[in-house]
Structure 1
Amino acid sequence: MSKTHHGHSIKRVRDMLGIKQETLAAELNMTQQAFSKLEQKEQIEDEMLDKIAKILHVSTEALKTMSEEATINYINTFTDNENGHFFTQNCQYTFNPIDKIVELYERLVKAEQEKVALLEEQLKNK
């Protein structure tokens, strides 16, 4: 059994789903050119394959072992039989640090308010 070309597997799945290199590259925080080079690699590191598989909604194992025929069968399994369109989710894998900063400030303000209330209570009791 010959080894599967990881880059070709990614390209086949990406093409079948109608996803452009630019789109996947943006999700992976890399340039389109860097992603194009990645698709040329026969072997791709597991960590990168995991990220790509999650974006494409396929298993990492599928990208490692899938032949062209299997790719077509896999994609056809998840198509809508009524109109032939693939069901996709518009996933955004972004992290917004502003939300975390706001959350932190809200917790700090609450802690300070509790401290002030406690100190005021102690002053009343004296």
Structure 2
Amino acid sequence: MSTLTKNHIGRKISRIRELRDMKQEALALAMGTNQQTVSAIENSETIDEEKLVEVAKALGVTVEAIKNFSDEAAINYFNTFNESPNNYFGLTNCTFNPLDKLMETVDENKKLYERLLQAEKEKVKFLENLLKEK
């Protein structure tokens, strides 16, 4: 019994379509055909080059991508991508406590408000004195 699988082009088309989160109906619409035709293509072990070009265009991939597609290569690609140490760009160690920074900002705002309030009180006193003098 052979452990090699045949180069089933229909299965490759099906997997690429699924990876692109596309239903058979959507692929059929993009190709200008019906869902039954897409189903027949995906069940075919081989398809003619002209039809393959049409399918590739509808899927947004090259003919070579379909011919050379393998589940293992796709899985390895995603596993390599997910295990890369550069993928942790969003996870950084904070060197300060965000709550402390927030409280500092609140204190600064409070001091600014008190200074503004004091300036307004002084302005009111000055204007009252001007009115009394007249």
Taking structure 2 as the reference length, what is the TM-score of the superposition? 0.50
- Greater share of helix: 2
Q: Does 1:11 align with 2:14?
A: yes
Distance 1:60 1:73, change over 3 A: farther
CA distance in structure 2 between the aligned counterparts of 1:54 and 1:72, rounded to whole angstroms: 23
Q: Write the distance in 2 (CA, Å) between the matches of 1:26 and 1:72.
A: 28
Matched residues, number: 79
Q: Hey, what does 1:42 align to over in structure 2? A: 45
Q: Which residue of 2 aligns with 1:57?
A: 60
Give the Cα–Cα distance (whole angstroms) in 2 for the partners of residues 70 and 45 of structure 1.
25
**2:69 equivalent to 1:66:** yes
Q: CA deviation at 1:40?
A: 0.1
**Displacement after TM superposition at 1:57 (Å):** 2.1
Secondary structure at 2:47's aligned position in 1? Answer: coil
Structure 1 residues 61 and 22, CA gap change in structure 2 (3 angstroms): same
Letter in 2 for 1:27: A
Aligned position for 1:20: 23
Structure 1 unpaired stretches of 5+: 83-126
Query: What TM-score comes out, normalization by structure 1 length?
Result: 0.53
Deviation of the 1:65 alpha carbon: 2.5
Find runs of 4+ consecutive structure 1 residues off by over 6 angstroms.
none
Q: Root-mean-square deviation (CA), in Å?
A: 2.6
Q: Corresponding residue for 2:123? A: none
